[in-house]
Amino acid sequence: MLGGMELHVLNHPLVEHKLTVLRDKNTPSSTFRELVSELVSLEAYEATRNLAVVDKPIETPVAPMVGKALAKPRPIIVPVLRAGLGMLDGMTRMLPSAEVGFLGMKRDEEHPTQQITYANRLPDDLSGRQCFLIDPMLATGGTLVAATHYLAEKGAKDVTAICIIAAPEGIKFVEDNIDPSIDFRVVVCGVDEGLNDRSYIVPGLGDAGDRLYGVVD
């Protein structure tokens, strides 16, 4: 626990191996996309640990029993465009019954902790919904805070952010600025050394969106 934020860093040999290949500048986009999906599936196991469930009576081939089923309303997965789209398959593979929303945000390069919202496709009311924000990089933390508060304005009180890698500066910014009334947690594969003078994570893995989809001028 960091203040009002719960941080979970995965510690697993498979995660470390896949993350190393992901970081390699010689890894092609096709492999990069597959590795992102695989890493997110591993993260999703931890990120969904607190999913709400209800009793569900069923009959097995041998006897009746009471099992568990996901509670309603269904959880919602929200990729932060565009890089977050590369994580969507990994999440929906583990959570196929979830709904999917979209949130378009980009960093203001002149003010790295400030964000520009340019698109959204979300329900008007997220009250009672467990929300999963997916974005590969937690760099300055500005996008994550802005996106979480955007969901909170629609009634969300339970938000889990899933990122591939994070910088200590971004973690600290989120810890200091996230609304404490939100039940908020972050799951990452690794925490790197820090940010460079362009607010990029070092050693990082480069621009995740460009490596997933190519450079867009």
155 annotated binding-site participant: no
| Separation between Cα atoms, residue 107 and residue 128, nearest integer Å | 29
128 annotated binding-site participant: no
CB crowding 130-169: b at 16 or more within 10 Å, else e: bbbbbbbbbbbbbbbbbbbebbbebebbbbbbbbbbbbeb
CA–CA distance from 119 to each of 2, 34, 92, 204 (Å)? Answer: 31, 26, 21, 27
206 annotated binding-site participant: yes
142 annotated binding-site participant: yes
20 annotated binding-site participant: no
DSSP 8-state symbol, 108: E
86 annotated binding-site participant: no
82 annotated binding-site participant: yes
201 annotated binding-site participant: yes
49 annotated binding-site participant: no
107 annotated binding-site participant: yes
139 annotated binding-site participant: yes
DSSP 8-state symbol, 209: H
137 annotated binding-site participant: yes
H/E stretch holding 89 reads helix 88-94
31 annotated binding-site participant: no
Residue stretches of the annotated binding site: 82, 107, 135-143, 201, 206-208
Residue stretches of the annotated binding site for uracil: 201, 206-208
Residue stretches of the annotated binding site for 5-phospho-alpha-D-ribose 1-diphosphate: 82, 107, 135-143, 207
